[in-house]
Amino acid sequence: MKSVIQIFCVGLLIYLMCFHSTAQAEIKIGIAGPLSGNSINAGEQQEIGALKAIEDLNEQGGLLGEEIVPISIDDACDARRAKAVAQQLVSEGVILVIGHVCSGCSLAASKIYEEAGIIMISPASSNPKVTDEGGPNVFRVFGRDDQQGTVAGDYLANHFGNKNIAILHDGDAYGKGLAEITKRQLNRRGVTEVLFKQYAANQHDYLKIIDKLVEKEADVIYIGGYEADVGIILRQAKNVRPNIRLFSGDGLMAPGFLLYAGDSGAGSYFTSGPDMRINPEAADVVDGIRYDHTFEPEGYTLYSYAAIQAWAQAVQQARSLDQEAVIKALQEGSFNTVLGTISFDDKGDVTGISSFVVYVYDEEGYTIAD
């Protein structure tokens, strides 16, 4: 899979570079996300969605007569590295950044973009602080964790309220924030967790955490974190508690989860945004990515594509690349995208699409849970 993705991305980049070689002017767009490390699947989804959107725009003649050139940089889902990535993109002269994926990275980078007058649209960062504390340049086309955690807490209370529920998180802005919101909603529903504990991310051995789960006789674990850690923890937990169930967040909408969890992944629940592959508005884009480039456009792929669609339409409405004019158009307009017709509220959060959905894994993939 990775080699296919690399071939696709390299091919698109070569195409885009060749296409703009005859252009008189160019617009630079940054794509910032994890292209290495444990969150690489999410980063690749974001990158491919953005590159496909840029390819399609350039095939239509570009934007305001100018060709669009992508600059994709790996932040490895690391907040300190994200700052360096942001500074590099500023020096490259980008006027838009699609990203970041990881909430901690978006929080770290957004102020740098604001100071430089660069618009940032995240297709994945869900921590509420991204837009609550972000400047007028910050937007996102994905939902918020105060929505996601509420959906998770309600589902846990409704289906597992009589079980011993343990809540774990990785201490990251995304994982910790989501776990805290889920805990709060669970408690509001009258259910008290038997354990709330942080684990160290990016480990291969979680036996100390597993011992705590055994000690508390946990029947269900809710984990705020990314797919690699979650998959490893689940696999090791099932070695000693075979019937334990997993619930997690949108970080699990990635093929990497089952690679880490193995057979233990079947029966696991997670929340994420609606699967936009079924949208009629997305049909041509889905076919183009799926059949022409042999990549399945799940997860954040179409959200990333939509982020560029919304921005491009805002530019067209403003009839200008002036950032203040484009920000005003984003704040006031509505945009036809692969997600459907969307707008942004006063904070920069997306409106017009459904909230989070609960999914469950089986041996072949995931479906909407009952």
**pLDDT tens digit sequence for 121-153:** 999 999 999 999 999 999 999 999 999 999 999
Q: Are 109 and 129 in contact (CB under 8 A)?
A: no
- Alpha-carbon span 277 to 338, nearest angstrom: 9
Q: Which two tokens stand for residue 244?
A: 């334990």
pLDDT band at 206 (very low <50, low <70, confident <90, very high): very high
Shared fold status for 2-143+277-351 and 146-272: yes
pLDDT band at 19 (very low <50, low <70, confident <90, very high): very low
What's the whole-model pTM score? 0.92
Q: Are 168 and 223 in contact (CB under 8 A)?
A: yes
- Does pLDDT of 9 surpass 80? no
Query: Alpha helix (H) ranges present in the chain?
Result: 2-20, 40-59, 79-92, 103-116, 129-132, 145-160, 173-188, 207-215, 227-240, 256-261, 283-292, 301-318, 323-332
In CATH terms, the superfamily for domain 2-143+277-351 is Response regulator (3.40.50.2300)
Q: What single-letter DSSP state applies at residue 282?
A: G
- Does pLDDT of 264 surpass 60? yes
Write down the domain spans for the chain: 2-143+277-351, 146-272
Q: Which two tokens stand for residue 353?
A: 């699409």
The helix/strand/coil state of 272 is strand
Q: Exposed e or buried b for every residue in 157-181, given b needs 16+ CB within 10 A? A: bebbeebbbbbbbbebbbbbbbbbb
- Does pLDDT of 23 surpass 70? no
pLDDT of residue 256: 84
Q: Are 265 and 361 in contact (CB under 8 A)?
A: yes
- Does pLDDT of 279 surpass 50? yes
pLDDT band at 254 (very low <50, low <70, confident <90, very high): confident
pLDDT of residue 291: 84
Could you give the dihedral angle defined by the CA atoms of residues 329, 333, 338 and 340, in that order, rounded to the nearest 10 degrees? Answer: 170
Q: Starting at the earlier edge strand, list the strands of the sheet with 335-337.
A: 335-337, 340-344, 350-351
Give CA separation, 15 vs 44, 47, 358, in Å: 18, 15, 38
Computed over every residue of the chain, the mean pLDDT equals: 93
- Does pLDDT of 22 surpass 90? no
Give tens-digit pLDDT for 287-310. Answer: 999 987 789 999 999 999 999 999
- Does pLDDT of 20 surpass 90? no
146-272 domain in CATH 3.40.50.970?
no
Q: Which two tokens stand for residue 126?
A: 């869900």
Question: What's the rounded mean pLDDT across residues 211-224?
Answer: 98
- Alpha-carbon span 213 to 245, nearest angstrom: 12
pLDDT band at 12 (very low <50, low <70, confident <90, very high): low
Q: Exposed, middle or buried by CB within 10 Å (0-12, 13-18, 19+), for 204? A: exposed
Count of positions (residues) in the chain: 370
Q: Are 224 and 199 in contact (CB under 8 A)?
A: no
- Does pLDDT of 108 surpass 80? yes
- Alpha-carbon span 334 to 314, nearest angstrom: 9
Q: Are 252 and 275 in contact (CB under 8 A)?
A: no
- Alpha-carbon span 146 to 151, nearest angstrom: 9
Q: Are 45 and 254 in contact (CB under 8 A)?
A: yes
Q: Exposed e or buried b for every residue in 254-267, given b needs 16+ CB within 10 A? A: bebbbebbeebbee
Give CA separation, 45 vs 134, 179, 368, in Å: 24, 24, 20
